[in-house]
């Protein structure tokens, strides 16, 4: 598993995205935060969080950083 945190931009403005990737590279879970509003892939909708459908190797991760599973789990629970 890989865990990443990085900047995000959407119709909600600028925010932060945390993503859990499987060893094969596809996204399993995702959390986004915009101006104090939390969204997660457990509640995917047209207006909220969209789980990345590609592979981590196809992303430009230069503005992102790897994080620990524990850090991801904290924001996953916070977004519930």
What average pLDDT values come out for the chain (80 residues) when binned by 10 residues? 93 93 93 91 65 83 94 93
Q: How far is CA 61 from the centre of its chain?
A: 12
All residues at 6 or more sequence positions from 38 whose CB lies less than 8 Å from its CB, including other chains = 31, 32, 78, 79
Total domains, the chain: 1
Residue matched to tokens 């996204």: 27
User: What is residue 58's predicted lDDT score, i.e. its pLDDT?
Assistant: 87
User: pTM of this prediction?
Assistant: 0.87
Both tokens assigned to 2: 């890989």
Domain residues for the domain of 28 are 2-78
């Amino acid at each position: 598993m890989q865990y990443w945190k990085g900047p995000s931009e959407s119709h909600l403005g600028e925010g932060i995205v945390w993503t859990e990737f499987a060893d094969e590279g596809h996204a399993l879970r995702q959390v986004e935060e915009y101006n104090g509003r939390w969204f997660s892939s457990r509640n995917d909708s047209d207006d909220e969080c969209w789980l990345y459908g590609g592979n981590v190797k196809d992303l430009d991760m230069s503005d992102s950083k790897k994080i620990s599973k524990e850090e991801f789990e904290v924001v996953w629970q916070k977004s519930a």
